[in-house]
Amino acid sequence: MLKNKATIKDVAELAGVSIKTVSRVTNREGSVKPDTLERVNQAIEQLNYQPNTAARNLAGRKSYALGYVYDNPNAYYVLDMQNGILAECRDRGYELVIHPCSATNKGIIDELATMVKRSQLAGLIISPPLSEMPDVLTGLDKLNIPYIRVISGSEVQVNSSPCVYINDRDAAFEITEHLIEQGHTKIAFLRGDECHRSSHERKIGYLQALEKHGIQSDHRYQIDGSYSFEFGVSGAKQLLQLEDPPTSIFSCNDEIAAGALFAVRLEGLDVPSQISIAGFEDSPFSRQTWPKLTTAAQPTNVIARKATASFIQYLSSRKDDDPHNDLVPHLQFKPELVLRESTLNQARNENVN
């Protein structure tokens, strides 16, 4: 296929040194006299030598590959994460190994361990819901596999592993407050999957906003479900059948909101004049409805990139014998409120695009 590349031997021969010395140079180990260094570098340049990664990995030492582990049904989210991670990896000369898996799989830890070993991964990047499962994390800790995780959380947990916190709680608080400011007091909440921490965080934010504004929390308005269009439809239907239905629905994500919107419009209600609907995530769903959805934007791509950058930094600086250094990265992001027509009475816009 491609040209046979120069090996370390060729370089050594040309520079008149042993292969070990060449290795010292390429790995910046030091202990090389300046003029030897010069000669070797010249030979490397002349032959356009690039160390063979396979041989390098085989022979031992660290690897230049990360793994991205996910179990998330949301294709948009996963691809956004993946693209962000990939962008940073390319920049830093790292490889990325993708690993979709099933969180319910009992042998998940073995599976991950095998993969890490096989591909000689330097560490793992883990997104929800896997990143929020204690068993998985302690399993990895036990095996001493480094990882950074993205989770839903409003506060940094000190002394824990590298982590990126998405402050869903405060963002949900803001969305709810926005609805209250629009004059709503009967605000329903459609919650996503039990196993996603974001479901709970967003609900907490919702409840806190109600409390702050002295609105009684009403259990009939709070329905638990899953992050799906279908639940949005059924949840909204259930709400509308109440003798005193809500005037607004805050859905735990855009997919649910799209379902709710669909169901509500089928009942002949106008959005937002008769009922307001808000989502969360700023996924394509939120723009592919009419009216477009008010939501909270989490720039997943950017988050993934920054997380990856921090993680790489962390990996190369950390000492194996000193796990408790102060360089453990803890990033925080808060999704931004995005106001659109689905909750804005005054700003109705008939244009779908």
Partner DNA sequence: TAACTAGGTGACAGCGTTGTCATTTGTGTG
Partner DNA sequence: CACACAAATGACAACGCTGTCACCTAGTTA
Binding-site member from 247, 269, 290, 313 for a second copy (CB under 8 A): 290
Selection from a second copy, DNA, none that 258 binds (CB < 5 to 8 A by kind) is a second copy
Select from a second copy, DNA, none the partner in contact with residue 17, using the beta carbon and a kind-dependent cut-off of 5 to 8 Å. DNA
Residue 288 interface partner, choices DNA, a second copy, none, CB cut-off 5-8 Å depending on type: a second copy
DSSP single-letter state for residue 156: -
CB of 54 to DNA, least distance (A): 7
In whole angstroms, give the CA distance from residue 222 to residue 212: 18
Query: Which one of the spans 81-89, 158-166, 208-216, 303-311 is the region binding a second copy (CB under 8 A)?
Result: 81-89
Shortest Cβ 188–a second copy spacing (Å)? 19
Residue by residue, DSSP assigns 248-314 as: EEEESSHHHHHHHHHHHHHTT--TTTT-EEE-SB--HHHHSSSSPPBEEE--HHHHHHHHHHHHHHH
Sheet order of strands, 222-224 included: 222-224, 187-191, 248-251, 276-278
Place of tokens 């506060």: 155
Parallel, antiparallel or unpaired: strands 123-126 and 276-278: unpaired
By CB under 8 A, is residue 96 in contact with a second copy? Answer: yes
Given a second copy, DNA, none, residue 323, with its beta carbon under 5 to 8 Å by kind, binds none
* Sequence-separated (6 or more) residues with CB below 8 Å from residue 11: 19, 22, 40, 43, 44, 47, 49
- Closest distance to DNA from the beta carbon of 19 (Å): 5
- Which listed residue (21, 82, 182, 253) binds a second copy by CB under 8 A? 82
Please identify which residue in 258, 260, 277, 307 interacts with a second copy, judged by CB under 8 A: 258
How far, in Å, CA of 166 to CA of 171, rounded? Answer: 9
The entry of DNA, a second copy, none near residue 209 (CB within 5 to 8 angstroms by kind) is none
What does 16 bind: a second copy, DNA, none (CB cut-off 5 to 8 Å by kind)?
DNA
Please say which residue, 206 or 229, places its beta carbon nearer to a second copy: 229
Nearer to a second copy, 111 or 218 (CB): 111
Q: Which of residues 118-147 bind a second copy (CB under 8 A)?
A: 118-120, 139, 142-146
Q: Does 348 bind a second copy (CB under 8 A)?
A: no
Question: CB of 308: closest distance to DNA in angstroms?
Answer: 17
Distance CA 146, CA 311 (A): 9
What is the maximum alpha-carbon separation in the chain? 90
Task: Measure CA of the first residue to CA of the last residue in the chain; give whole Å.
Answer: 49
Q: By CB under 8 A, is residue 50 in contact with a second copy?
A: yes
Q: Measure CA 30 to chain center.
A: 39
Taking CB under 7 A as the rule, does residue 114 contact DNA? no
| Closer residue to a second copy, CB minimum distance, 63 or 208 | 63
φ/ψ (deg, to 5) at 100: -70, 145
95 binds, among a second copy, DNA, none (CB under 5 to 8 A by kind): a second copy
Q: Which two tokens stand for residue 251?
A: 């859905």
Q: In the bound complex, what is the minimum distance in angstroms from residue 4's beta carbon to a second copy?
A: 9
Does the protein bind a second copy through residue 317 (CB under 8 A)?
A: no
User: Of 263, 248, 258, which Cα lies nearest the Cα of 290?
Assistant: 258
* Rg of the chain on CA atoms, in Å: 26
User: What contacts 45, CB < 8 A, 6 or more positions away?
Assistant: none
Lay out the site mask for DNA across 73-112 (x = CB under 7 A, - = otherwise): --------------------x-------------------
Where do contacts with DNA occur on this chain (CB under 7 A)?
A: 7-9, 16-24, 26-27, 30-33, 36, 49-52, 55-56, 58-62, 93
